[in-house]
Amino acid sequence: DNLPENGALMVFPGSHNVFVACPGKQPDRNWEKSLAVQVHGSPSQAQLTELAKQFGIRHCAGRRGSVLVFDSNLMHGSHSNITPLSRCNLFQVFNAVSNRLGQPFEAECFRPEHIAHRKPEHTNAVG
């Protein structure tokens, strides 16, 4: 189960409606470390404080097998699990075919195919 005590995801409800600029160039192969520690492309403490004041923070606790669907622009994050209570999460991102991946914005190279598909045969476009 994901509980506030073992690091359940936290969100700022409604924050997906606000643009938060997060400057900084991502280092090469950032995907190898970004799920453990996200340093580049993260908001500052001042930005997080303002978002928390404006939108509040909500834990997304859920029992095993629960599903949470949200816009990836919703400010979200979790803290480390320092309890004996394990948790396991699966993250899957969907993207419109019309928004196909292009040249990386602030990275030297593309993320690998197993992380970010670019091949048309991986899509089920209709129309």
Element housing 58 (H / E): strand 58-59
From the first residue on, what is the mean pLDDT of each consecutive set of 10 residues in the chain (127 residues)? 92 94 73 68 88 96 92 87 88 77 73 74 55
Total tally of structural domains belonging to the chain? 1
Residue 60 buriedness (CB in 10 A; 0-12 / 13-18 / 19+): middle
pLDDT at 47: 92
- Would residue 46 count as lying in a domain? yes
- Would residue 111 count as lying in a domain? no
CA distances, 86 to each of 32, 77, 123 (Å): 22, 17, 34
Instruction: Give the range of the structural domain holding residue 71, as residue numbers without chain letter.
Output: 4-77
pTM summary value? 0.71
Element housing 47 (H / E): helix 45-55
pLDDT at 122: 56
pLDDT at 127: 47
- Would residue 100 count as lying in a domain? no
- Would residue 49 count as lying in a domain? yes
- Would residue 92 count as lying in a domain? no
